[in-house]
Structure 1
Amino acid sequence: MNLPYAFPVKLSFLCSPLMFGKALRIMDEETYEMVGAAGFVLGTGANHYEDREICQVEVAFIRKEYRSSPLFVQLLESLVATMKEANPDLAQVQFWVPAEQKDLDRLCSKFLALPGSVKSVVNKLAFYTVPFPALEAYCRRLKRA
């Protein structure tokens, strides 16, 4: 997600889904090469992770050459399914990205177009909140297309 933090903080974003949440490795089925990863935690640090109806995406990465491929859609579908498995009563997904990262604008605008989604900017970081049911419906539409 390319956040502007020091290495120890970035490492914590990678570690927290492994220790406290869920993580996905994305592999190319033909070459068995790892091409991405994603991870999330349920709850927020501000509420001592007791607000488990909120899912915070901590890390999401897919190699550039795979970003516009069907693999990206499969990643999103798998991530949403894993979130639902972790908490069937999930209400909201949230994530942070650099506010001025133009290559993320197109992708994030798709999430922002979902009903009930909100973007706010704090200290050069964009904070997105997306209602989980809207994200789940979006994934179903992508799968049918």
Structure 2
Amino acid sequence: MSHYFAKCSTYMYQHRYMDFLLAHYLELKLPYSFSTTLSYISSPLLMAGGAMLCFDDEDEVAGAFGYIHGTGEHDYEDRHVIQLQVAFIVHEQRRSRIFIEGLQFLVEQLDEYADEEPVQEIRFWALSEEANHRLFSKIAKQVTSMIGEEGELNAYVVQLAELRSYLASFERDSRMKEKHGKVESS
């Protein structure tokens, strides 16, 4: 199954981003009230940041990623840090490479604006679940945990250079498969 990514740089894409995430609100499993969740998922559109969508081969939204520059604890002045506010992929697509390709697209976007807004670090929070930890510990280091009313969250941090290096291994794998004729269209 093929897919492609698009920045949410127009009102139409921004509208699809919000519609998609709100339609999947329960699946997001964010341990916050609806109003807090709404502020997190909309912040990439309202603050300095970025949002992107992943579309499947039928031009249906299959995933959404959003980030902001800076952290609340530093009044968003630490702009060398981005926080992933949301990274959601529909269940049917989770076994595909969309997450990795989404991260590759994110790094490309960050590189595109590196002269204006150089990023060195990416941070994100995730529910403290074994499956999440197995996935996210491959790309980032867990730095802390927080227990709130709605559940436990783990904080992860990765340096952009380290993420770039990790993602490069997937590009090498793809080139090797192409060389040996084992690539499916994506």
TM-score scaled by structure 2? 0.69
- Residue of 82, 89, 111 corresponding to 2:109: 82
Partner residue in 1 for 2:67? 40
RMSD: 1.6
Deviations 1:73-103 (A, max 9, x none): 221211222233344531110000111x233
- Residue of 26, 33, 47 corresponding to 2:54: 26
**What are the ranges of 5 or more consecutive residues in structure 2 without an aligned counterpart?**
1-27, 174-186
Query: Which one-letter code corresponds to 2:167 in the other structure?
Result: C
- Secondary structure, aligned partner of 1:110: coil
Q: Is the radius of gyration larger for structure 1 or structure 2?
A: 2
Are the aligned partners of 1:53 and 1:90 in contact in 2 as well (CA < 8 Å)?
A: yes
Are the aligned partners of 2:44 and 2:50 in contact in 1 as well (CA < 8 Å)?
A: yes
Deviation at 1:3, TM superposition (A): 2.4
**Map 1:1-145 → 2, pairs under 5 A:** 2-20=29-47, 21-28=49-56, 30-87=57-114, 89-99=118-128, 101-112=129-140, 117-123=141-147, 124-145=152-173
Are the aligned partners of 1:23 and 1:39 in contact in 2 as well (CA < 8 Å)?
A: yes
Query: Which one-letter code corresponds to 2:111 in the other structure?
Result: K
Deviation at 1:72, TM superposition (A): 2.7
Are the aligned partners of 1:118 and 1:130 in contact in 2 as well (CA < 8 Å)?
A: no
Identity %: 35
Are the aligned partners of 1:52 and 1:87 in contact in 2 as well (CA < 8 Å)?
A: no
Deviations 1:23-67 (A, max 9, x none): 001101x21110110000010112121100111000110012212
Q: Structure 1 41/133 Cα, relative in aligned 2: closer, same or farther at 3 Å? A: same
- Of 126-135 and 80-89, the range deviating more from structure 2: 80-89
Q: Structure 1 37/68 Cα, relative in aligned 2: closer, same or farther at 3 Å? A: same
Query: Which one-letter code corresponds to 1:26 in the other structure?
Result: C
Partner Cα distance (1:95, 1:2) in 2: 15
Partner residue in 1 for 2:5? none
- Of 52-61 and 73-82, the range deviating more from structure 2: 73-82
**What are the ranges of 5 or more consecutive residues in structure 1 without an aligned counterpart?**
none
Are the aligned partners of 1:66 and 1:72 in contact in 2 as well (CA < 8 Å)?
A: no
Runs ≥4 residues deviating over 4 A: none
Tell me the matched-pair count.
Answer: 139
